[in-house]
Structure formats: C-alpha cells, structure tokens
C-alpha cells in the first residue's frame, strides 16, 4: 500500500464479536428492522452485513451481555453455540419491532420514531447525503456448496482429499474452491468500483459485486446474476465508529413506504466509513425520493 494511503488507515481499538441471525419468514425490510431496532434502542453500536445466506451483526465484545439481553427480550432465541440468534414464529406475528418499552438508561430514545428523528438530525448536521454511483449495478452471489464442488470435480479427485490416516481434523480448506479464490484475486487486481466478500465458517463465500465483474468468475458463482441491485451510499466518515442507530434509523424510514417494505431485496452493508442501502432499481428511485428531502441542506 502506498505510504500516503497507508497514513489514512485507522484501526479500531475495540474488538468485535460476530453474531449470525437466522430469521426465516421475515420480509427483507422487516428483517433489518427486527435485528437492529432492539440494539439501537439500547445504545449499542453495530455493523450490519447482509450476505447471500445470512445476516451478520458485528458488535463490540464488551457489549455482549447487553446484546444478548436486548435480542432475547424481543423474542430471539440464542442457539447452543451462542453465536447464532433465531427469531421465533410468535415474534413474526407481532410485527417488525417498531415499538419498544422504555430504554434502561437515560438519554436513549424511547422508541424508533424518536431514534429516527435523532439519526436524521445527526446525518443532516454532518452533511451526509445519499448518493448513487452512475451506472453501478450489483449482484449478490455465492460460491458453490461443498456438495456442488464435488459434482464438478468427481472425475478428477484431488489427492489432498484422500484419507491420509494421520487423524487430522477436517479444515475449512478441505472445501475451498481454488478457482473462486483465484477469480476474487483477479477481480481485486482490476481495481473494481465495488466488491464485497464475506467469508464465514459455516457458509460458502458470499459476494456482492459490480455486475461488470461477472465474466471474471465464469461458473464459479451461483445466484440470480440477471437481477440488478442499486446501492445507495451514505458517507459516514464524519461520524465516530461508536455512532448508534444509523442502520435502524435509515431502514426504518424506508420501510414506512409500503412498496419498499414489501420488497424482498432490501439489504444493508456497513463498513467503517460508509453505509449502503441496497435495493432493486425501481425501489432505489423511491428510496432516494424519501431520503433526499430528509437530508437536504435547503430549509
């Protein structure tokens, strides 16, 4: 990395824990709200990542106890390995968690409506405006499952897959698709306009990438590559990492629109210095029509 660019890199002093949330049965917008509103109302900062298979929440490790309490109170169930939360069917029927009881500490918003007012006030004060990059269309894809890889390679088995009798434990590397990782490197070398890769222990690699990169990957990806997703970017460089409620505040405003709320394609991607709301092309136009007036500098 060039020295001048390296100087701009900062590393959080906080350590983060990762929670995977399984929330089948919820629409996309409801899912984002269901997961983020309890944490936002509890004043817990998060990073939110939607992937091809799962939703992941990154929270400061020191907030673990508060996170567990907040999500269990809203009907989530903690799995045996204590790294996955599952929503209950009963909780689905109660809505998307837009109402809430009084928060445990003074100074926190009483409900999502108050949270949204605060968040948009902060974003407007920091001159954060929604932006769409011209001609940038994304696709959400995944690497192939291990079983699918076996189907492709059964005629040319790898020697490394044979039993060696050394008693070693299975490794994630046993199921790595080397072609996919070679394609990822090639795509990064091309300096893409947008590319996000999420690697999780229990899922195949998930990619959210510029549609123009698909030719690089050939048949190493699965997913709806014909669909086009439009990211709406929020530049959050002027906000501290510990800022809370941004995902919930922005998503909450958007899902008040009935068409966006019914969309199966609303997702959110958090990074250290930006947030991206990801929608279909049609819904992105509606979303911009909602967000721009709220964040406009004009009186």
- Is 162 part of any domain? no
What is the percent of the chain where pLDDT is above 90? 45
Residue 9 sits in the same domain as residue 70 = yes
Domain stop point among 205, 227, 249: 227
Residue 151 sits in the same domain as residue 264 = no
Mean pLDDT of 221-226: 92
Average pLDDT, the chain: 81
10 Å Cβ neighbour count for 185? 11
10 Å Cβ neighbour count for 125? 9
Residues of the domain holding 193: 138-155+172-227
CB 233 within 8 A of CB 276: yes
Query: What's the half-sphere exposure (Cβ side, CA atoms, 13 Å) at 54?
Result: 21
Supply φ then ψ for residue 96, to 5 degrees: -105, 20
- Is 203 part of any domain? yes
- Is 268 part of any domain? yes
Residue 142 sits in the same domain as residue 41 = no
Task: Provide the pLDDT for residue 95.
Answer: 45
Count how many domains the chain has.
2
Mean pLDDT of 50-79: 86
CB 214 within 8 A of CB 261: no
Task: Provide the pLDDT for residue 80.
Answer: 60
CB 200 within 8 A of CB 51: yes
- Is 72 part of any domain? yes
User: Model confidence at 103, in pLDDT bands (50, 70, 90)?
Assistant: very low
Task: Provide the pLDDT for residue 153.
Answer: 45
Residue 94 sits in the same domain as residue 223 = no
Residue 213 sits in the same domain as residue 186 = yes
- Structure-model confidence comparison of residues 109 and 279, the more confident one: 279
- CA-to-CA distance for 250 and 73, rounded, in angstroms? 23
Task: Provide the pLDDT for residue 101.
Answer: 44
CA 37 vs CA 23, 32, 42, 92, 95: distances in Å = 14, 8, 8, 14, 12
Domain stop point among 180, 212, 227: 227
113's CB contacts (< 8 A; 6+ apart) are none
- Structure-model confidence comparison of residues 81 and 115, the more confident one: 115
Mean pLDDT of 202-228: 92
Residue 86 sits in the same domain as residue 128 = yes
Summarised one tens digit per residue, pLDDT across range 148-185 is 555 544 443 443 444 445 566 665 566 678 899 999 99
- Is 107 part of any domain? no
Least confident of 65-69, 167-171, 186-190, 295-299: 167-171
User: Model confidence at 20, in pLDDT bands (50, 70, 90)?
Assistant: confident
Residue 222 sits in the same domain as residue 259 = no
Task: Provide the pLDDT for residue 257.
Answer: 87
Burial (CB count <10 Å: 0-12, 13-18, 19+), residue 235 = middle
Residue keyed to tokens 């701009």:
8
CA-closest candidate to residue 22, choices 61, 71, 69, 94 = 71
Task: Provide the pLDDT for residue 261.
Answer: 78
Mean pLDDT of 281-297: 92
> b/e string for 33-49 if b means 16 or more Cβ within 10 A?
bbbbbbbbbbbbbbbbb
Mean pLDDT of 40-60: 90
Residue 192 sits in the same domain as residue 277 = no
Residue 36 sits in the same domain as residue 128 = yes
Residue 212 sits in the same domain as residue 258 = no
- Is 161 part of any domain? no
Domain stop point among 209, 227, 245: 227
Least confident of 4-13, 104-113, 219-228, 262-271: 104-113
Residue 22 sits in the same domain as residue 97 = yes
Residue 122 sits in the same domain as residue 143 = no
- Is 83 part of any domain? yes
Check pLDDT > 80 for residue 100.
no
Check pLDDT > 60 for residue 88.
no
Cα torsion 240, 245, 251, 254 to 10°: value is -100
- Is 245 part of any domain? yes
Summarised one tens digit per residue, pLDDT across range 230-243 is 999 999 999 988 88
User: Does the CA dihedral 89-93-97-103 come out positive or negative?
Assistant: negative
């Amino acid at each position: 990395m060039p020295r001048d660019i390296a100087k701009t890199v900062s590393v959080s002093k906080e350590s983060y824990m990762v929670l995977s949330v399984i929330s089948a049965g919820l629409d996309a917008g409801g899912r984002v709200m269901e997961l983020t509103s309890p944490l936002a109302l509890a004043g817990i900062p998060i990073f939110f990542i939607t992937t091809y298979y799962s939703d992941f929440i990154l929270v400061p490790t020191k907030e673990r106890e508060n996170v567990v309490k907040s999500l269990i109170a809203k009907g989530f169930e903690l799995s045996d390995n204590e790294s996955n939360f599952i929503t209950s069917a009963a909780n689905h029927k109660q809505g998307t968690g837009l109402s809430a009881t009084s928060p445990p500490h003074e100074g926190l918003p009483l409900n999502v409506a108050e949270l949204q007012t605060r968040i948009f006030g902060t974003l407007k004060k920091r001159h954060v405006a929604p932006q769409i990059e011209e001609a940038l269309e994304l696709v959400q894809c995944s690497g192939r499952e291990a079983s699918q890889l076996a189907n492709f390679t059964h005629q040319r088995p790898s020697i490394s897959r044979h039993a060696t009798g050394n008693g070693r434990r299975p490794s994630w590397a046993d199921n790595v698709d080397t072609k996919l990782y070679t394609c990822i490197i090639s795509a990064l070398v091309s300096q893409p306009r947008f590319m996000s890769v999420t690697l999780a222990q229990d899922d195949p690699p998930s990619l959210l990438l510029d549609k123009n990169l698909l030719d690089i990957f050939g048949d190493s990806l699965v997913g709806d590559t014909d669909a086009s997703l439009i990211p709406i970017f929020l530049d959050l460089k002027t906000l501290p990492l510990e800022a809370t409620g941004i995902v919930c505040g922005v998503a909450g405003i958007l899902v008040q629109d009935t068409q966006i709320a019914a969309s199966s394609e609303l997702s959110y991607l958090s990074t250290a210095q930006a947030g991206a709301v990801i929608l279909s092309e049609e819904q992105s136009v509606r979303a911009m029509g909602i967000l721009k007036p709220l964040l406009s500098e004009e009186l």
